[in-house]
Amino acid sequence: MSDTTKCLIIGSGPAGYTAAIYASRANLAPIIYEGLQPGGQLTTTSEVENFPGYPDGVMGAQLMDDLRRQAARFDADLRTGVITMVDFSKRPFIAVSDDGTKIKADTVIIATGASARYLGLDDERRYAGLGVSACATCDGFFYRGRSVAVVGGGDTACEEAYYLSGLAKQVYMIVRKDYLRASKAMQKRVTEKENITILFNTQTRGLFGEEFVEGAHLVEYAGTPEEHEFDIKIDGFFLAIGHKPNTDIFRGHIELDEQGYIKLTGNDQSTSVDGVFAAGDVADPVYQQAIIAAGSGCRAALDAERFLMEHQS
């Protein structure tokens, strides 16, 4: 089975769905493959209060469903499935889905996102959206005047802990090593903040709580004669140990940075391959916010439309 399209969008979420809306309105008749998690990371988030247009907040899954229905309204071809292979060596580009469908595309927009790294605890899944988060900027507002923990010792962890310290009553940093890997400036910020407590040489064994997170089981100096287990009472548990961009199938086909994020080559959403564009967290190791992803999806669709106009045969 083979299909052709002016624009193939790989991935959903704010970037993919927004790209589909704009590409559809430009009469590009896009095909969008939604991936393993249609709607992306926001579908696992509880309430979203910082996306414009929702003054009373909106559940993450509802926000993504609204964007999806808007793309469908303009006749975007929304497909459940995963792209497993691409060939960007020449146009039209080739992509193959997990059901064997081959798609020939004049342009491609990659919006596969990035996945938060987790510790691998069963409790992380159990309390997902119920106290466990990988985004302090997204969810920190819900923990005003409460106690939270941040896992990690790098710049991201310090930034999140410092941000949360302006909202929460108490912030614990759970750091596996006996030092912080963050820059000196960030280390100074968190060590001088009165309501941040850094727990060095400490790892998380589990979380507990009736329905929501109420605390964490920790171990200090694990595997040594000084090993010591203890609990802390917290309402929120924030992972800040990095993200992994979902770019494995594109490796060797387009240029990636040392972390695996897609490199953008100019002032738009262009990649190292003419006619292939990237949007959202897959090309954004810095901000990783839904509104920015949506904006970049709009840019990518406009870039694709302009590229097709300039390359009409």
Q: Which residues are catalytic?
A: 135, 138-139
User: What is the sign, positive or negative, of the torsion defined by CA atoms of 189, 171, 239, 282?
Assistant: negative
> Rounded to 10 degrees, what is the CA torsion of 202, 138, 78, 23?
-130
Whose structure tokens read 């929304």?
A: 78
**Distances in whole angstroms, Cα of residue 292 to Cα of each of 19, 59, 210, 312:** 12, 18, 35, 30
Cis peptide before 285 (omega within 30 of 0): no
Separation of alpha carbons 312 and 280, rounded Å: 27
| 45 in Cβ contact with 139 (< 8 Å) | yes
Classify burial at 56, counting beta carbons within 10 Å of its beta carbon; exposed 0-12, middle 13-18, buried 19 or more.
exposed
Q: What angle do CA 50, 56, 59 make, to 5 degrees?
A: 70
Instruction: Name the nearest CA neighbour of 285 among 41, 140, 114.
Output: 114
